[in-house]
Amino acid sequence: MTTATHEETLGFQTEVKQLLHLMIHSLYSNREIFLRELISNAADACDKLRYQALDNDALYEGDSELRIEIEHDAEAGTVTVRDNGIGMNRDEVIENLGTIARSGTAEFLKQLSGEQQKDARLIGQFGVGFYSGFIVADDITVRTRKAGTEQGEGVEWHSKGEGEFTVADIERETHGTEIVLHLKEDAGEFADDFRLQSLVRKYSDHIEVPVRMPKVETARDEDGNEIEGSETTTWETVNEATALWVRPKSELSDDEYKAFYKHVAHDFSDPLTWSHNKVEGKLEYTSLLYVPGRAPFDLYERDGARGVKLYVQRVFIMDDAEQFLPLYLRFIKGVLDTRDLSLNVSRELLQQDPQVDKIKSALTKRSLDMLKKLAKDPEAYQTFWNTFGSVLKEGPAEDHANREKIAGLLRFSSTHTDSATQDQSLADYVSRMKEGQEKIYYIVADGFNAAKSSPHLEVFRKKGIEVLLLHDRIDEWLMSHLTEFEGTRLVDVAKGDLDLGEIEDEEEKKAQEETAKAKEDLVKRVKEALGDEVQEVKVTHRLTDSPACVVLPEHEMGFQMRRIMEAAGQAMPEVKPILELNPEHALVARLEGVEGDGFEDLARILLDQAIIAEGGHLDDPAAYVKRLNALLGA
């Protein structure tokens, strides 16, 4: 019997209490996931010991055959999962089993709704897999000792999942961790040999560490009768125990790929797609990359954990090797196993290894090719885009070499459908371009409705020219780095002079020049009335229904990006807009006949309205209202 000393009782972190309450009282579907999580954690512990033992073989303590063992006792109602991996010391036990040591914990808990199916899929995404043991157990004991420490430095952790746990020092001969689950009355099904073996094969067949279970064999006499007292127990490996990624693709089923993804990504939903590839030659490596079906909660934390699991010749090196994929592909999960990196790699050495850049370039192209293939299934790709599209939009600025490939994967809203759904590709747009059209036109706004209703679209609707409607916060920054697609320029319709090229015939252009000349006096008067508030005033042919609009110089930062930068506390240089007037509009015609102060008031109303139509903010809204009221009362 284990003798415990230095025992203390501690309270769980508040978030853990909430999580345990959910585990114990709400989750009844998918109860079997507890075994997958505990085996996955045990496999990680074995991987970590194997890596640390590269520099210190003594950590194995004479037991280098890494393994996971599962036992059950139907009479006692227990299931035990043990490993001879790295183990934990007292501080690590308190840290790892008393808190949810992962960023975004509060956001995770917000997502917990009490809906069994939904919440079951969330478990594991935040490193909380250990607590899933309380779905089936009302009492859990953990005994562990960190490899390389003295036998007297073992630790025993115990809890009934009711808000507190005890930690005590114990003597423990072996390193690694043993978890004893005392099953709830309604969870007795798991204290069954066949049930446990089937779960191992279902969820953990791909685990490289052998998962073993005891097998009792009884000797028989010549007549085939069992010999009493001849029982012997052997350990039988019940999983494939071969790294899945090194097996030929022809031997692997979709279910095996999906199960491995759930192990790698700590996700309970299926991936959208995957790519398994082996490279031989100057570089030798195997990669297995996945596109998740759901986003992690820290997706937009650019400093959050990301990257692939890195192995060197099947030796685990690190969980989040971020050096092998660019930041805009941080949602990609998977495994990289290579022969071309030295075994003593660290993050610093990885950054200096020239092979890393070559592998990164290759994995980036493979990831983009995987997305291109996924795009052939519009429904699946739309799921991807709705989840990760905003992150992929970071690509053109970060990865010049693959800018064209990334551009082909982007999706936008468009006047072609007038739908807020971003489902139109640049290739779709080009295929619908009118005869004589030489540019891809787009507009950026704070929201879809603002983009769809912009006065700048009036002439395009009149002539049946499609315009992309960009309404994500990142869109203007994206377009500043994406200036063409397959040789066709992308043009912001709210910037610079409007040039529809051959779509306008010579007669239209001549009429526009004559109108501009006829309105020279009006334009001059409006500029004098508005003074320094505008850079320039001119007549325009881009409007059909609105009296005026504001335009920025072609290479100037747009209104949306300026507002975002200012909201972030960034001081922005003053930029004066260009006011363009619609010479056919009744308000502009009325303006020509007004004299004195009334002319300046009406000119300012037209400017203020144009700014509001662009989603801008007026410096003096009260003055605008006063002028408008005076106009309405005239």
Cβ-contact 158, 141 below 8 angstroms: yes
Residue 316 annotated in ligand binding: no
DSSP class per residue in 207-272: -SSPEEEEEEE--B-TTSPBPTT--EEEEEE-S--S-GGGS-GGG--HHHHHHHHHHHHT-SSPPS
Residue 3 annotated in ligand binding: no
Angle at the Cα of 265 (from 320 to 384), degrees rounded to 5? 105
Rounded distance between C-alpha atoms, residue 583 and residue 587, angstroms: 9
Structure-token match 């590269």, residue found: 54
Structure-token match 């910037």, residue found: 495
Structure-token match 């010991």, residue found: 49
* Residues near 313 by beta carbon (within 8 Å), at least 6 away in sequence: 337, 338, 339, 343
Cβ-contact 270, 380 below 8 angstroms: no
Rounded distance between C-alpha atoms, residue 45 and residue 68, angstroms: 10
Residue 386 annotated in ligand binding: no
The pair of structure tokens assigned to 254 is 């979709």
Listed in sequence order, the DSSP H helices in 468-505 are 475-479
Single out the residue of 326, 424, 426 nearest to residue 368, CA to CA.
326
Residue 105 annotated in ligand binding: no
Q: Which residues of 206-242 are buried (b: 16+ CB within 10 A; e: fewer)?
A: bbbbbbbbeeeeeeeeeeeeeeeeeeeeeeeebbbbe
Residue 127 annotated in ligand binding: yes
Residue 338 annotated in ligand binding: no
* Long-range interactions of 154-158: CB distance < 8 A, separation 24+: 155/88, 155/89, 155/90, 155/93, 156/2, 156/4, 157/93, 157/97
Residue 525 annotated in ligand binding: no
Residue 130 annotated in ligand binding: yes
Rounded distance between C-alpha atoms, residue 442 and residue 466, angstroms: 8
Single out the residue of 446, 438, 453, 499 nearest to residue 476, CA to CA.
446
Residue 56 annotated in ligand binding: no
Rounded to 10 degrees, the C-alpha dihedral 29/35/40/45 comes to 140
Residue 129 annotated in ligand binding: yes
Residue 78 annotated in ligand binding: no
Rounded distance between C-alpha atoms, residue 419 and residue 365, angstroms: 31
Q: Are strands 273-279 and 232-237 parallel, antiparallel or unpaired?
A: unpaired
- Beta bridge partners of residue 162, listed in sequence order: none
Rounded distance between C-alpha atoms, residue 288 and residue 266, angstroms: 16
The pair of structure tokens assigned to 449 is 């409705």
Q: Quote the strand ranges of 404-525, DSSP E.
A: 412-414, 419-424, 439-444, 468-470, 484-485, 488-492
Question: Which amino acids are annotated as binding site, given as ranges?
Answer: 37, 41, 83, 88, 96, 103-104, 125-130, 177, 347
Question: Which amino acids are annotated as binding site for ATP, given as ranges?
Answer: 37, 41, 83, 88, 96, 103-104, 125-130, 177, 347
